Structure formats: C-alpha cells, structure tokens
Structure 1
Amino acid sequence: MAAPNSDEARVKTLIYEGLERNQTLPVLLTGVKVYGGVHTRDSFLKTHIDPLLSKPYTTATLFRALDESSSKLKSFGIFDSLAYSLDLAPSVGTADYVPLEAILTLQESSRIKVKTGTDIGNGDVSAYATGSIANVFGGAEILTADAKVDSLKQSSYLLNYNTPIKNSSMWTGDITALVASNERDWASHEESARGLRVKAIGPGALGGVQEIGYEAFWRTVGNLPSHASTSVRAAAGETFKSSIFNEWLLNKTNSLVFPTEGYKMKVRTEIAGFEPNNKGDVQFMKGEVDSTFVRSFFDEDLTVSIGGRGGLLWSLLSNGKTFLPDRFYVGGPNSVRGFYLNRLGPSDEEDSIGGEAYVAAGVSLFTRLPNIAKESPLRFHLFANAGSLLGINRLDPQSTFKKLIKEPSISAGVGLIYAHPVARFELNFTLPVAARASEFPRKGFQWGLGMSFL
C-alpha cells in the first residue's frame, strides 16, 4: 500500500500529540492500516497486529502496546524503519471510548546480500563468500549459502534456512545442509562430513540461549599418508552418525573478545545411535561443559580470568568402541597452552588419537603496560594451564577419573595480548612443566588467534 501523503501525516502527528497530552483518555483501537512491507506476508503481520485490536485502552497503555508491537517486529531484522501513528476512526465506538485507527509504516531492508572477506576463528584465518536472501517467503525467513576455506586446510560449503517458529522472534528453526573437509595433521588423515542438521533456538534457563536439534552425518576418515599410525589406519573408512543434541549457553560477560567482568557457561549434551542393528552404527552419550569467570580490579588495571572445561564420551556399543571424529582433542594456544595443537592425551606413534574424558583449567592475569594509554587494547599476560585427556578404562572407569585429576599436564608462561574488536591475539612464551610421555609439549613462543581461550 502506498505511503500516506505529507498532509495526512501532519494531521496524524497532531492527533498523536493531542493524545499524549491526555494519558488517561479511554480509547478503542478499531483497526490498523499498513503502508509498505510489500514483500512481507499479510498473515505474518496480522499475527502481531490482531492482538492489539478491540481492546479498551487508555492512551498511556495504548502507546505501550504499540511500542511493544514495534519492538517485536523490529527484532526480526527485516525492516530498516518501522513506525506507528494514530488517526481518528469512523464512529464505530461507544460513548465511553474514543475510536482510533493505527497506521503502521514499514520500510523493508535490502533482501539480497552478498559478502566476501576473511574471518578469524580459534587459531586460524579463513576466506569466505556468503550470499543470503532475507524474508524469502514473507515471514522473516533467511536462506543463506556459504563457502569457506581456511588456513588449517579446512573447507566447508553449506546451505542454511532459518525461520521464526509460529511467527515469533523468540524461537527460530534452523536447517543446515553441510559438506565439509578438514585436514587433521595431528592424526595423519583428512576428515570429511556431509549431512543435515536441524535445530530450534530460543530462550533457555536463567536468561541463556537454548539449542535443541538433530543431525545426521556421513563421516569419512581418509587420504592417509604413508606415515599414518596403525590406530589411524584402523579408523579409516565411513561412519554414519544419527544424534540428538541440546546446548545451553549463558553469557554474562561484558565482551565477546576480551571480557573484563562477568561469567560465561556452556553445557552441551549429545546422544547418538538410533539404529543399533546397522553395521558400523555410531552409538554414544557425550557431554561437555565450558565455563569462564572474569573479574577486574583497580579500574581494570588488573584482570583475573579463571576458566574450566571438561567432557565425557561414553560408547553405547557392546565393544565400547569410539571413533576418531567423536573423540575430544585438547591442547594448543586456545586450549592448554604449551602444547602443540590437539596434541594432549593418547597417541600412536606420531599421531594424536584423541580421548574419551578430559578436564582442563586455566588462570590468567592481565595487566596494563606502563607508559601505554589506558585505552590501549594491549595487555601483559601471565598464565598457568593444566589439563588431562585420557581414554576410558571401561573395566574400572573410576581409575580413569582419578588419573584425570591427579596427573594433569601443566604449563605456564608470559606474553602479550592484543584485544582487537574482531578477535583476540596472543603471543606467549610457554614453558611445559609436566607432560605424559605420549604427549607433544611445546617450549618457546606460541601465538593464538580467536575469541575463546582457556
């Protein structure tokens, strides 16, 4: 529908201002006219408009209701601008109420976006190309195609469809078709995956974010070099994983990149294996916890960060077998510093083959550098890390958990960090203090790049 002309808009503004001066005036909203929003479904808008109608208001409560409706519509991210105004309605009210009509003026955002560039993850830099179509079917849906190749010889290609559930921005449905390939240098193989992930995302306990979903992936361990270990060769081939998962994230920190106050916790659980009679079926229960607490002192001249992580993978197969793609891998600049990437825990010859239970912890102290501006993102870093990654002794699992706690690998070090708005960069001198014979400690300079550090 075409936008109202300037004279109409001026009259409606005067009416609106008059109503604002009399906050207790009883009014009745009889209808809503919509201007703009040509790509947005009428049924989608009606979901948010109809609850406003045929209710008795005072002008004060009507303004609050219109503000809430406006905020909900804005939360979908499909409108550049959105505004309600009011006009006198035809005389369909009663003597007790002033009949009003609302005018909703919408300006939609650009629907098609294409973006290329570089992205920074945990320890790697990637090049990507992304194209998306917003409001695909007129209900705030987004269809995205993405291709990414990074410095760790990983690539991924995905098609994602995201849609509000029941026209609400509180819960969204997400479907992803994915083809990915990752070179696992620490275990002498290439892992590829292709499959589908479906999940619902919404509010969780304590103000957190909840994800509940299902995924089905065919995984291939292949392209083994001649020096691959016996364990890796035995794991070569294809496996199919069918699993349900639940993830809860509570983030109360003041920054995603370099928090100086607050805490964060993430809990993820997964159960795989719904066809136990199929040969090669993957069956397990898996849980992982990641937490961080940060506190600053002396006007952020000193910041203390304490982090802890842990995970357990329990096979549901009668032989207790677990597979390389499902195991935990620990160690590296974003994890337990002072070790090569994913090189903590069990190994076979020169290959790290992952584990089924781990704990890791870290304490970091950050201080401002002398004679450097207070606003500088550069900090001095002092840290200590400890971690254990083991395979589970299924005949005596209690002994495994005791070893995890009593015999950790330990490192310490000093360095500098730079808190860029996009990601955090660390350059540390690391000193391994204790390590198992099967692990790969790293003494000397180590740099890390990403948003999540232990």
Structure 2
Amino acid sequence: MAEVPPDQPVKDAKRVQSLVYEALERNQTLPVALTSLQIQGGNNTRSSFLRAQVDDLLSRPYTVRTLLQALDDSAKRLNSFGIFKGVAYGLDLAAPQENLPGVVALEGTLLLQDASTKRLRTGTDVGNGEVSAYATGALLNVFGGAESLTIDANIGSQRRSSYIVNYSTPIKNSHLWRADISGVASSSNKEWASHEQVLRGLRAKAVGPGAFGGTQEIGYEAFWRTVTGVKAHASESVRAAAGDSFKSSVFNTWTLDKRNDPLFPTEGFSIKLKNEVAGYLPNRQGDIQFMKGEVESQVAKSFWKENVTISLTGRGGLLWSFMKDGKTNIVDRFVLGGANDVRGFYLNRMGPRDEEDSVGGEAYAAGGVSLFSRLPGVTHTSPLRLHLFANAGSLLGLNRENPRETIAKLFREPSVAAGVGLIYKHPVARFELNFTLPIASRASEFPRKGFQFGLGMSFL
C-alpha cells in the first residue's frame, strides 16, 4: 500500500474548498444557507462573546452574493475590536437539509488569530511650547470580551505630570458602542497665567454612532481642581482664583469626519460639536456652574492631481456662567494662540490680560486658510509640503448685559497673522516649521514674529 504524505489531507481539504468557492463564484444568485459555524482559534476570547458576534449568520436565507457579503461584514466587525490580527471565513458543502428544499446547505469555519494582549509604547513629543516624555501600557481582551485596561503617563515642561487609567468595554457585546471609565490625575504649569493647575477626578462616557453617520460621546465627569503655585508676580485676578473648586458636569460630543486623512487632509470635511453643562443639575452638585459649547470644522480640497491643497478651518466657543455673580473660573475659560492654534502668537497669549497674565476668555472665534504645495523636485508621495497660511482669531470676556455685542466684536476686530513654512506628515503626527508675521493684534496680546515650530494631530 502506498504511503500517504502527512500534508496530503490538508492539501486535499484546500483543494475541495477551492472547488467549492469556484462553484459558488459561478452561481452568485444560487440560494444557500449557512447551517453551522465552527470557530477555530481565538483562545483568549470568551466563546459567549464570539457567538454573540456570529450567531446571527446562521439559519438566514441567502444567495451566494449576500452570504459572502455578510461574511465579509462579520470579519470587519471582529477586526474592529482590535483583539485579532487575523480573521477569515471558510466554507464547505454540508449535508442537504430536508427543511431547506432547493437550497444549498453550507457549513462555515471562522479562523481567528489572536493579537498580542500586551502593548507598551514610549517616546517624546516636542511642539506648541511643550517638551514631554510619555509611556503607555495596555492590557487587551482583559476578560475575554474585547475589554482593555490602559495606563498613560506623561511628564513634560508645561504639563509637569499626567496619569490616566482607563478601562474600556463593549456595551452588550456591541462593536458599535463602548463604555469608558477613566481616573485622571495631572499637574500642569500655566506659565502664561503665573500659576499651576492640579486636576484629580473621574470620567465615564459611552461612545457610539451619532446622527447623520457621525459618532458621539455622552458622559459625566467629576473633577477636583486646584489653582496653586501662584507666582510672586501674579496678577490680582490669578491670586483671586487660587484654591480649590469641584466640577460635576455632563457632556456630549458629536463628530462627523469625512476627511481622507485626519492629520493632513487633501479632500473632505469634518464637523465637531461639544457641549458641557456643569453644576446646574437637579441636585446642584459641585460649586462650579456653567454651560459651555464649542464648534470646529474643516474643509479640504486638492487641485492639479493633489499637487496643491487648500484647507479652510474654523473654531468657536461660548462659556456662560450660572454663578450668582456671573463670574467664570480661570480653569474653565478658553485660551487661544500658539503653533497648533492661531499661529503668529505665543502659546495661549491671546485675549484678556491682567498685568502680565493672559487670563482667558468666555467667547472665542478663530479661522485659518492654508495652501499646501508639492516642493519642486520632490516626488508626489513625499510627506514634505510647502505651506502658506493666513489665520485670525479673537478671544474676549463675555459682556453678559449684551452678549450679541461680544459675538459681533469677535468677527469685527480679529487678530491676524500670516506666514510661510514647511509641513512634514509623519504616520502618527504632523510637524510644522513656519515663519510667522503678525499683521494685527490687540494691545493685551503677545504676537510672535519669526520661526514657530508645531507638532500635533490638530492644527488651525
């Protein structure tokens, strides 16, 4: 008797499966049914979680085309959890089913390859007046249901220290909705306002699909905030803000992002709306009460085979105090200015000022237009681009007696700067080196003429 090579059964199985696929491809409208589904691999994941993702594939009427599409969609859902580095489906003919006359019965196999459950990343960031070192550690699929536990540590020149512990889990095994619970402790140097801020608290939120195809976050946070380390030369308003405050707030963020690249878009648009209500709740928790709203938008369009790109960006926000005296806390106010914001001004050095301190404002508007062009002699795929820009912004204290006048003044008397520079798009961040020329500014602001370096993921 001739010996059978050890790999012959595997080769025969692959050949049979290949023949099955060829037959299915030639009969796209053939009625089929998936009668069983076996799962191979995925040993780090609970079987109940996996079954919740795939059981809806069984006992449904399909054609070959719709079944293959359903399997492809299922593989994408499983990949979206980030706990597998390989997801594939296999199909074989099954025994005919008496209760499915005229329907070809198929049995499926889900092949899963587990991703690593541990991740560690370290590095340094430089930009927007900040030099920092960071470390991020993560445990994935902690309880076998796509949960994650992440610890972030950051030490820098402005943000002296920041520690975040975050636990994230799918809501009811859904690939669309997640719940996040975070503990935060940070200490940061606000040198533009001669003090330090210490934050300690908790944040809980649900993240999922929003209106018009966007995404949304709905959550609650409770933070104990301390204004401390007040410098000897600090202004009277900064000294008055020293001490503790407690913020209890609910928030909602809706985002619609149709850009082809969030770091350096060449086509598309994005819109983000953020709202927060603090203290002014039925039980009046916290000693800070306000309503805060912000809007951000961007549009990008390319011309001449993407050799030239024009980007328009706009932002605005309003902070309204519910306190009896109508005052806002320096921790909650908006700040404006810097290499990642309104270029041509020092970091957060726009808006109201008390002596030498920039103390922030309750209303702001900012916008910019940028033109990016491929450099002569540089290939089309190069991440390096020439950058021409003009941006403008206003940050004001709110006139509560006549808020419309404040809003009108934002657009009537903006501070303006323009410049030229170079952009480098890295896979994880964007670098800018610009020469800036302030054109108009208020007497209370600190314009900056000369070279300005920026690093980050979001720019005006």
Aligned to 1:181: 187
Determine whether 1:286 maps to 2:292.
yes
Determine whether 1:104 maps to 2:110.
yes
Which amino acid is 1:42 matched to? S
Aligned to 1:85: 90
Determine whether 1:302 maps to 2:308.
yes
Which amino acid is 1:227 matched to? H
Q: Give the 3 Å change call, closer, same or farther, for CA 61–278 of structure 1 in structure 2.
A: closer
> Which residue among 318, 326, 331 is the counterpart of 1:320?
326
Give the count of matched residue pairs. 451
Task: Give the superposed CA RMSD.
Answer: 2.5
**Residues 354-369 of structure 1 aligned to structure 2 (within 5 Å):** 354-369=360-375
Aligned equivalents of 2:246, 2:413: Cα separation in 1: 35
Q: Give the 3 Å change call, closer, same or farther, for CA 446–118 of structure 1 in structure 2.
A: closer
> Which residue among 351, 355, 373 is the counterpart of 1:349?
355
> Which residue among 380, 398, 405 is the counterpart of 2:404?
398
Percent identity over the alignment is 63
Aligned equivalents of 2:168, 2:300: Cα separation in 1: 33
Aligned to 1:447: 453
Question: More displaced, 193-202 or 364-373?
Answer: 364-373
Aligned equivalents of 1:329, 1:25: Cα separation in 2: 62
Which secondary structure state, in structure 1, belongs to the residue aligned with residue 175 of structure 2?
strand
Aligned to 1:252: 258
Aligned to 1:30: 35
Aligned equivalents of 1:103, 1:375: Cα separation in 2: 40
Gaps of 5+ in 2: 1-8
Aligned equivalents of 2:425, 2:79: Cα separation in 1: 31
**Deviation at 1:250?**
2.0
Q: Give the 3 Å change call, closer, same or farther, for CA 33–93 of structure 1 in structure 2.
A: farther
Aligned equivalents of 1:24, 1:293: Cα separation in 2: 42
Which amino acid is 1:187 matched to? A
Aligned to 1:70: 75
Aligned to 2:386: 380
Aligned equivalents of 2:77, 2:286: Cα separation in 1: 47
User: TM-score w.r.t. structure 2 length?
Assistant: 0.90
Aligned to 1:212: 218
Which secondary structure state, in structure 1, belongs to the residue aligned with residue 287 of structure 2?
coil
Aligned equivalents of 1:279, 1:206: Cα separation in 2: 33
**1:2-36 deviations in Å (ceiling 9; x for gaps):** xx977656555554554444445444433222222
**1:10-68 deviations in Å (ceiling 9; x for gaps):** 55555455444444544443322222222211211221222122234344433333333
> Which residue among 47, 50, 72 is the counterpart of 1:45?
50
**1:307-358 deviations in Å (ceiling 9; x for gaps):** 2111100001121121111100001122222211101111111111000001
Aligned equivalents of 1:368, 1:11: Cα separation in 2: 52
**1:227-284 deviations in Å (ceiling 9; x for gaps):** 1111111101111111111112222222222222222221111111156887961111
Aligned equivalents of 1:205, 1:302: Cα separation in 2: 33
Question: Would the aligned equivalents of 1:13 and 1:86 in 2 still touch at CA under 8 Å?
Answer: no
Aligned equivalents of 1:414, 1:60: Cα separation in 2: 53
Aligned equivalents of 1:89, 1:207: Cα separation in 2: 39
Which amino acid is 2:455 matched to? L
Gaps of 5+ in 1: none
Aligned equivalents of 1:105, 1:367: Cα separation in 2: 46
> Which residue among 57, 72, 80 is the counterpart of 2:62?
57
**Deviation at 1:451?**
2.4
User: TM-score w.r.t. structure 1 length?
Assistant: 0.91
Aligned to 1:411: 417
Aligned equivalents of 2:416, 2:134: Cα separation in 1: 36
Question: Would the aligned equivalents of 2:247 and 2:286 in 1 still touch at CA under 8 Å?
Answer: no
Aligned equivalents of 2:44, 2:451: Cα separation in 1: 55
**Deviation at 1:152?**
2.7
**Deviation at 1:157?**
0.8
Aligned to 2:4: none
